[in-house]
Structure 1
Amino acid sequence: MKLSDLQPGQSGQVVALNGLSVEVRKKLMVMGVLPATRVTVIRHAPMGDPLQIEVRGVSIAVRESIAAAIEVECGQ
């Protein structure tokens, strides 16, 4: 399942960061979006882009196109 498919309040564990440039992968990793890390979707912006997610206690905004490249394993 993709991170962009999760609804507000749902969480998942990052499995893979596929199809992203090296620069974007590095930025995500610095912000704590790493494989085996739990992320929670807080909300979607009114027009759908970006998403507000919480990872390791920090809230960040991620573009829809980037969230669609992050593979997660769904879980509550």
Structure 2
Amino acid sequence: MQLKDMAIGAKGRVKAMTTSTPEYRRRLLMLGVTPGCTIEVVRIAPLGDPIEIRTRGCLISVRKDEAEILDIEPIG
């Protein structure tokens, strides 16, 4: 599952980051989104871009392009 497919309030764990654009990966890593971390979708803009997530106690807004590189494992 990808982050962009998750509903508001859904929680998941980052399984992997798959990208051909290292800038997106680097930015997410600097913000604390690493493989194995838990995320929760807080808000989604009306047009779907950006998506606000909570991870490690911080709120982060990510664009659709950045959200596409995250493979998420849903948590119960």
Q: What TM-score results when the alignment is normalised by the length of structure 1?
A: 0.92
What percent of counterpart residues are identical? 37
Instruction: State the superposition RMSD in angstroms.
Output: 1.0
Secondary structure of the 1:27 match is helix
Which stretches of structure 1, 4 residues or longer, exceed 2 Å deviation after superposition?
none
State the aligned residue count.
Answer: 76
Inter-partner Cα distance in structure 2 for 1:60 and 1:39:
10
2:65: which partner in 1? 65
Q: What are the within-5 Å matches in structure 2 for residues 31-70 of structure 1?
A: 31-70=31-70
Inter-partner Cα distance in structure 2 for 1:74 and 1:8:
13
Instruction: Give the unaligned 5+ runs of structure 1.
Output: none
